[in-house]
Structure formats: structure tokens, C-alpha cells
Structure 1
Amino acid sequence: MGETLKIAFVYDVIYPWVKGGVEKRIYELATRLAKKHEVHIYGYRHWGESSTLEGEGITYHGTLGVKKLYSSGRRAILPPLLHSIKLVPLLSKERYDVIDCQAAPYFTCYASKTSRSPLVITWHEFWGDYWSNYLGKVGLVGKLLERGLFNLTDNHVAASLKTKKDLHNAGLRKDITVIPNGVDFRRIQEIEPSSYQSDIIFVGRLIKEKNVSLLLKALALIKEEIPDVKAVVIGDGPERQHLESLSSRLGLKKNVEFRGFLKRHEDVIAFMKASKVFAFPSLREGFGIVVVEANASGLPVVTVDYNMNASKDLINDGKNGFIARVDERDFAEKILIAFEKRRRMKSVSMNIASRYDWDEITERLEKSYLSFLP
């Protein structure tokens, strides 16, 4: 593949200023693609007043500075709308071989369509009827905007097989290429465990959909059998205060530590490696990179069986983790089983995670881009 491409990734937030699954995916793919191709990333201007920033072979384009991503516990709507309006003239004046726009927030895809460049839409989730649960009657607008993306391009990528199935079931009849998320498997093996040891660890944004309250209620049950059980919660978000209060009410103040966001990804992995079981009760995941990272760190993962949780598809039940019902007692039981069997599950978990190395996934994406070219 000797052809050099000019590639643009379009989203709203950018790694490492914001640490989430989608922005981490873009970063990992972009840094690898930039070794051979010209790569640009468009998003919020996290770094100050300058409209552009160079780093690791990537040109970052910032539209507006955003101080608050969330409003009333949900991602705010106005910033991505303003961001998309500012994207139109920026993307219109450049010609790219590929614009890879993340499906949500949907406004950015419509803005990207105004460019003369071929558009790829990468789907991390498909919400459909869930919009009504999320916003009530107003959710109809989100549902219509989401469905409208079907007609913007023939080039669609899904981050998981579940999302591909959801899109097909919703009526998207075009070819959908599955390009999963991944991990830097070799780098994870090099990281030393943290000196802070725990029995159970959770990593993720503290929002309602992550369902961390289920973990806390399960911990209260586990404490009945293991009084000194120690759990650590890595991450921050609008639910943190509520979760800390719930932890106190459940009598878990000495058992659970909330560490907030860790700036260095290596520190997150180090905390994982110093733990025994990764607990992930999330109800809504387009993929779940942290699940693969936990497996790569040698931890079995306990997640939940929920229709919008694609991370359960990463678990081979009993091999690299367990899938529990959305019930604190069953979740607690599965954690205890994982705790008992963790040593024999370690090598299997790591072997499964090794299949998701970013280098291989980047090659697959590069081939897809070339197939999308006119």
C-alpha cells in the first residue's frame, strides 16, 4: 500500500484533553496512520487560543473552547451544534482523500457532508428508539438526525458487530465494515503494577449509563463475605457526588476509593495490574476499550447482559470474564467467582486481548479507506 492519503478525523472532544473510548480510538489510529499519511483531527479547542496545534505528526484543528461538556448529567447539545457550524468553512476549504466523521454528535456529520471530500461515518452506537427514553418527546429530533446519517454516504464503519446488526435492523442497507477498537498490547505488558493494590477496579466516566451504583450495591453484598474488600473507582463525571454519597450510605467508605481521572494512561493500566477483577456494569457501550485493556492486564471482567451493552460481546463467559444479570446479587456473585478463578483465567484473558492490537486494526482501517476512494 504505497499510496499516501490525506485523512481527517472529525469529532467534538479530543484525546488526551478528554479521555474516553472514542477519542482514544481516534488518537491511536491517527498516530499510527500519521507515520505514513497526512492526518488531521478536528474538535474543540482544548489547548488555548491558537486555532491549530501540531503534535505526533498530526495537525489538530480547534473550533471553540468548551469548559463544560455536560449539562444536567447529559452531554450538552449547544457546544457540538456551534462546533459543527464552525466546521463547515474549515472543511470546505480543504480537500481530503477521506473524512472519517464519528456518527455522534450527528451535527458534525452533516457539517462534514458540506465538504467536497469523500465521507466515512464511523458508528460507535446506534440509539434508535432509545432516544425516547433519553429525552422523552424531544428525543424524536435525535432519532431523526441519527436516521438521516444513513443517506449522507455509502461508506459506513461500525466499531462492533452489535452496532452493525443494530444499523442493519434499523434499515441501513449499505455495506458496513466492522473495525473494532483495540489496545497497545505490547505497551501494556511493559507497564509495572501500581503500589496501590485493590481487589476490584472500575474505570470509566461517572455518568448514569455506566451504572456504577450497581457495583456499589454489589460491593455491599460482597462485604458481608469479605469485610475488608477493597475497590477503586477511576474516573470522574456528573455522577461522582451521588456515587460517593451512595457509597457512604452503604457503609463502604473504608472499602471504596474514588480516585478521579488519571492524567496518564499508563497509570490507569498500572492500577488495573494491581487489582484482581475488573467490574464493568455499564448499560450502554458501543465497544468498551477498557474491557480489552483489563484483559490485556490479566484481569477477568464482569459485565452485564443488557441490550445496549456491546462490551458483553467481548466476553467469552467463563473464559475471560463473566456476564451477569442487571441485578446486584448476581453481579456480586459473578465478581466473587471471578475473584476465585482469576489466576487460571489470566493467560486466557491476555490471549484474547492480544487479538485487538492497534497496529493490526490500523492496517484494516487503511485498507477500508483505500476501498472507499472514488
Structure 2
Amino acid sequence: MDETLKIAFVYDVIYPWVKGGVEKRIYELAKRLARKHEVHVYGYKHWNGKNKLKRNDIVYHGTIKPERIYSSGRRAITPPLLHSIELVSLLKREHFDVIDCQAAPYFPCYASKVSDSTLVITWHEFWGDYWSNYLGKAGLVGKVLERGLFSLTDNHLAASLKTKKDLHNAGLRKDIIVIPNGVDFRRIQEIEPSSHQSDIIFVGRLIKEKNASLLLKALALIKEEIPDVKAVVIGDGPERQHLESLSFRLGLQKNVEFLGLLKRHKDVVAFMKASKVFAFPSLREGFGIVVVEANASGLPVVTVDYDMNASKELIIEGKNGFIARVDKRDFAEKILIALENRRRMKSVSRNIASKYDWDEIARELEKYYRWIL
């Protein structure tokens, strides 16, 4: 019988207090690994009371309580730095078989080196030169910190083939294993559709990189073909006010509804199941779990062909979705094609999504941990 492993996942934000893709991956994998192994998660202290708590057989360790995670629409720099300082003292106290640290925001990876545990760095994106676009001259610091992770360990995982290629192109010559993100496929099948029906749905944090404005501009063109077209936008963020104003300027008051952040994941899936096409014009994705969730819900996905958008790798053109140019007319055209063909694409989309079930991905990750040990 295989021996029990002691595993730590290190990041900054923690699910379910913060509901993003990386934190959801950690939660789903930790929950499954905890059935056989001792699993710990280190991150911000989102809760009140003691710094350490146990839920679903996972031991959570909280460091700092940040006043805000985002600043001017970007992740704030100070919280992860303070978080990493706390991590140094916490990780020194315990030995783990494996510490699986998420690459960004970089500081925690350096902090994890104080431990004598085997370090794995999981890459969801590699930014490289994009740091200059993101922060100008100050981006050089991010670029140096990011590249410095190459030498911290021999054990590197990538959440997508695109990220693996980016790392190789940047000069990381060590073995990089791809272990993708996933979905709870069976649970999604059990969720009933919402009574709130729509034609098009978008789900994501409302930040510039998600590019939801392209959807609104495309929707104005789709309205010329389908005057009563209905779209829903699920999510919140610094761009929400701008997007709501844009929808008014485009005359879409009766066509698009902003539902904000939904607390329960099953409600998001229920809204997907009550829609027809998932529109995802994001310009920057390390993977795109929500694309697989949409496919698992039976929706074809329309995304965009952009260099930093790894979610386009999940699309088999004409089978489970379409890839459009970053252009409102082409995006609108692909949505119209998806609407027309959604019935024949429904079962194919589900079949493709079934290959990304979290149970199988957790098994692959466990095999990887045992292999490096």
C-alpha cells in the first residue's frame, strides 16, 4: 500500500473566500488528495479566529489579513510580500514531503525555499516581456523575480501546454509536466438549469484583461440580427461601472443584464445551463477553467485568438466552440454561428469536457509527487 504523503499547497488567496481559477484548482485537488494524504493550504487569513483551521480534511494556515487584494485593478504588491515574510517562519516549523507553490506572485516561492521539503512550482502563466506592458519600467522587477524561479527547483508543473511552451522558449531547460485544471463533471451534470434564460453568457472577473467590452460591442452587432437577444454577465470587478456605462451607450439596456458575483458555484452553472453560448473574449488566461465548465454544461464557447489566451487551446474549432479574431465583427459572427449550431455541438462539448474531470487530474498529480520523491 502506498504511504501517506504530507503535502502543502502555497498561494496567496484561498477558495472559497476568493473564487478565482488558481484557488479553485488548489481546493479541488486538495479536497481529493486529503482523502488519502495529509494536506495543508497556506494563504491569506480570510477568516476570523485562530490562524489555523480544518475544513473538509484540509488544514488551512492563515498569514496576514489584507485590507485589499487589488489596487487600481491590479493585484496589490504589498500583501503577497508581507504574506511571504510570514510564510518563512511558518514553513520552517514543519516538514512536508511536497510543497506545491503556485508561481505567481513569486514571493511565496522564494519563501518556500526555507523548508527542507521537496519544492514543486506550478506555473499558470509565464509573463516574460509582458511585464513591461503591464508595469512599464517597473515591470523589470517582476520579470527578474519570475525568471529567478527557474533555479529554485528542478520540479516544474504547467497548467497548460501554452505555458509549458512559453517556459521552454524563455530558457527553462528542466522537465516541465503539464497537469491541467479541471471540473467536477458529474456534479455539473446534476445541477438543474436556472429559470433565468439567456442566449449568451459571460462569467469572469470584470478586469480589463477579461475584455468583456468586446462582447458588448459584438452584442450591439448581434442585436441588428436578433433584436431581442439576451445576454447575462456574471462577475464583479473594477471594470463593472465602465461596462455598464458602455452597455447604455450602445443601447443594450434591454439586452444585457449584469448579475454581479454569485456566491454559490452551482448558481453559476445553473445560469450556464439556461443559456445557449458562452462568450469568453479574455486576452490573458493561464488555462480557463470556466471554458471547460461551460462545455460541461453543454455550451459551445467562443473565445479569441490572442497570444496570452491559453483557453483557446481548449477549443476544437467547430466541435466545442470557435476562436475569433480580437475584432467585434468576427466575434459577433462566431457567436451567431455558435447560436445556430448549438444543438449539434451540445453533446460533443460535454464529451470533450468529461476528459478534464478533477478526480483523474488529482490521480495524475499524486503520481507526479510520488515520481519526484
CA distance in 2, matches of 1:175, 1:39: 25
Q: What is residue 206 of structure 2 aligned with on the other side?
A: 206
Task: Give the TM-score normalised by the residue count of structure 2.
Answer: 0.99
CA distance in 1, matches of 2:3, 2:358: 21
CA distance in 2, matches of 1:139, 1:93: 34
- 2:74 pairs with 1:59: no
Q: What is residue 218 of structure 2 aligned with on the other side?
A: 218
Q: What is residue 79 of structure 1 aligned with on the other side?
A: 79
- 2:252 pairs with 1:252: yes
Shift of 1:355: 0.4
CA distance in 2, matches of 1:82, 1:208: 27
Structure 1 unaligned regions, length at least 5: none
Between 108-117 and 96-105, report the one with greater CA deviation. Answer: 108-117
- 2:145 pairs with 1:145: yes
Q: What is residue 265 of structure 1 aligned with on the other side?
A: 265
- 1:1-374 correspondence to structure 2 within 5 Å: 2-373=2-373
SS at match of 2:275: coil
SS at match of 1:147: helix
Matched to 2:335, the amino acid is I
CA distance in 2, matches of 1:192, 1:67: 37
CA distance in 2, matches of 1:52, 1:67: 19
Maintained 8 Å contact 1:48/1:65: no
CA distance in 2, matches of 1:197, 1:25: 29
CA distance in 1, matches of 2:357, 2:93: 35
Per-residue CA distance 1:5-34 (angstroms, 9 max, x = gap):
000000000001110100000000000000
CA distance in 2, matches of 1:99, 1:48: 25
CA distance in 1, matches of 2:3, 2:123: 26
Shift of 1:254: 1.2
SS at match of 1:163: helix
Maintained 8 Å contact 1:70/1:238: no
**Structure 1 runs of 4+ off > 2 angstroms?**
none
Q: Give the CA RMSD over aligned residues.
A: 0.7
Shift of 1:162: 0.4
CA distance in 1, matches of 2:213, 2:53: 39
The alignment covers a number of residue pairs equal to 373
Structure 2 unaligned regions, length at least 5: none
Task: Give the TM-score normalised by the residue count of structure 1.
Answer: 0.99
CA distance in 1, matches of 2:161, 2:310: 8
SS at match of 1:164: helix
